[in-house]
Amino acid sequence: MTISFTYKRRQTTTTHVGNVAIGSDYPIRLQTMANTSTNDIDASVAQVERCVKAGAEIVRFTTQGTREVESLAEIRKQLNSKGVNIPLVADVHFRSDVADRAAQVVEKVRINPGNYANKPEDIEAKFAKLIDLCKANHTALRIGVNHGSLSQRMMDKYGDTPEGMVESCMELLRLAVKYDFHDIVLSVKSSNTRVMVETVRLLVQTMDKENMAFPLHLGVTEAGEGEDGRIKSAVGIGALLADGIGDTVRVSLSEEPEAEIPVAKALVDYFANPNSTRYNDKNILSYNEDKKSIFFFNTEDDWEQFQLQSAAECGRLLWQYGCDKLEILNPNFSEKQVEKLSKDILQAARIKMYKTEFISCPGCGRTMFDLQKTVADIKAAIGTKLNGRGLKIAIMGCIVNGPGEMADADYGYVGAGKNEVSLYRGKECVERNIDQAQAVERLLQLINETK
């Protein structure tokens, strides 16, 4: 069966984030998140300028407390004085008071329903106050649910399932509608591409049933870095873009934020630009029922673009048709290269694990160590030694969000303080606050002890 290359954007309402409008009447927006300390004003301003140069349209900052809100006000002021008016987003966890302050300073506030209020009975009053502040200051909100940080209440009722993530999002969304507030963007993210795609689709269906059409932000969390991070992001984000879902995109890589933008742009252009190579009539995408396989033929001559396009097209079909094989063909590349790409896509779609999977957060102002170097050190130390065991190893920048966000990792290396690391086996912390200099070696020992 041949699959046609069509693209029809899901119709949404419009959300205004400063001078950027998000929704189906506008282009899909490209976002990133700073990894500087929010309190390092000079470094943060310089990083935003680099992101803007790369094509970012919105930049988010971690906002742990009121000091960071004051820093964001200064960052905003300095950017404005340079004529850089890109909207800034405060990323707030655990502190509704900080969200309230941030709503008076930046163009959008992201809150996580999983940790927005400690007591369920406080949610409505706190959220109504935040909405009042957003209305008064023309500030938008992102209700951003993450797979690994659902509230205990949701976990007790639904487990860490797509249903639990969607309900967590809908609870606040229904309140926003009740209080007549509509400048909202939604996200439901996971580092598991399959869970992420299933959850976004369920959220769309749930909104449809309740006559809501808010814009969606897409991303695969903790996708890692390098080509694995890009392929994993393309599998998840591409599956949804192919269905016309997605109004703003962030590709989360454990790299500099400006490196995320060309990847996001390539994915968005591939689907949404009618002149892209996707709509070249030489391309073929088909499904063979007897072989339970897919065939993708494409003549793209840039290897990185071809990797992204193959991942973006194939992941969704693997899930849709229950395939466990993939045939990819491109006359510009060797059979060996393309065979490895097929295996990487099968792994990114969680169909077949053939090598160790590294889940790593992109890092942000909470990161207490050199994340990029640490990811490289751990990958080098492990090399191919553990391939075949199907292990997922997480490298997370902070103890505040790391343990929750690494969701289904088998082992975790999590920043616990300045030059200190805690090690996890599944969700259990097995070594606390060890010296970073010894942490990679201890992680390897831990994995070997539990063969």
Interface residues with ligand SF4 (CB under 6 A) are 62, 361-364, 366-367, 396-398, 400-402, 405
Asked whether 392 and 191 are in contact (CB, 8 A), the reply is no
Return the DSSP state at 2: B
Considering the complex, state which of residue 62 and residue 309 has its C-beta at the smaller distance from ligand SF4.
Answer: 62
**Please, which residues bridge with residue 395 across strands?**
360, 413
Considering the complex, state which of residue 18 and residue 362 has its C-beta at the smaller distance from ligand SF4.
Answer: 362
* Least distance (Å) between residue 48 CB and ligand SF4: 17
* Least distance (Å) between residue 413 CB and ligand SF4: 12
* Least distance (Å) between residue 144 CB and ligand SF4: 12
Q: Which residues, in sequence order, are CB contacts of 402 under 8 Å at separation 6+?
A: 361, 394, 396, 412, 414, 415
- The neighbour count for residue 15, using CB atoms within 10 Å, is 24
* Least distance (Å) between residue 423 CB and ligand SF4: 15
Considering the complex, state which of residue 294 and residue 398 has its C-beta at the smaller distance from ligand SF4.
Answer: 398
Considering the complex, state which of residue 172 and residue 364 has its C-beta at the smaller distance from ligand SF4.
Answer: 364
Considering the complex, state which of residue 110 and residue 350 has its C-beta at the smaller distance from ligand SF4.
Answer: 110
Type of residue at 371: L
Considering the complex, state which of residue 216 and residue 398 has its C-beta at the smaller distance from ligand SF4.
Answer: 398
**Please, which residues bridge with residue 141 across strands?**
109, 184
SS3 276: coil
- On the 0-12 / 13-18 / 19+ scale of CB atoms within 10 A, 168 is buried
Return the DSSP state at 5: -
Asked whether 291 and 259 are in contact (CB, 8 A), the reply is no
SS3 93: coil
How far, rounded to the nearest angstrom, does the alpha carbon of residue 393 sit from its chain's CA centroid? 17
- Residue with the CB atom nearest ligand SF4 in the bound state: 397
* Least distance (Å) between residue 323 CB and ligand SF4: 33
Q: Which residues, in sequence order, are CB contacts of 338 under 8 Å at separation 6+?
A: 328, 329, 330
* Least distance (Å) between residue 345 CB and ligand SF4: 25
- On the 0-12 / 13-18 / 19+ scale of CB atoms within 10 A, 145 is buried
Considering the complex, state which of residue 190 and residue 277 has its C-beta at the smaller distance from ligand SF4.
Answer: 190
* Least distance (Å) between residue 89 CB and ligand SF4: 14
- The neighbour count for residue 38, using CB atoms within 10 Å, is 26
* Least distance (Å) between residue 368 CB and ligand SF4: 8
Considering the complex, state which of residue 18 and residue 397 has its C-beta at the smaller distance from ligand SF4.
Answer: 397
* Least distance (Å) between residue 255 CB and ligand SF4: 13
Among 254, 220, 269, which residue's Cα sits nearest to residue 30?
A: 269
Please report which helix (H) or strand (E) contains residue 58, including its range.
strand 58-62
Q: Which residues, in sequence order, are CB contacts of 245 under 8 Å at separation 6+?
A: 10, 200, 201, 204, 216, 218
* Least distance (Å) between residue 441 CB and ligand SF4: 22
* Phi, psi torsion values for 387, nearest 5 degrees: -60, 145
- The neighbour count for residue 87, using CB atoms within 10 Å, is 22
Q: How far, in Å, CA of 112 to CA of 126, rounded?
A: 13
Considering the complex, state which of residue 146 and residue 356 has its C-beta at the smaller distance from ligand SF4.
Answer: 146
Q: How far, in Å, CA of 75 to CA of 401, rounded?
A: 24
Considering the complex, state which of residue 257 and residue 315 has its C-beta at the smaller distance from ligand SF4.
Answer: 257
* Least distance (Å) between residue 317 CB and ligand SF4: 31
Considering the complex, state which of residue 317 and residue 361 has its C-beta at the smaller distance from ligand SF4.
Answer: 361
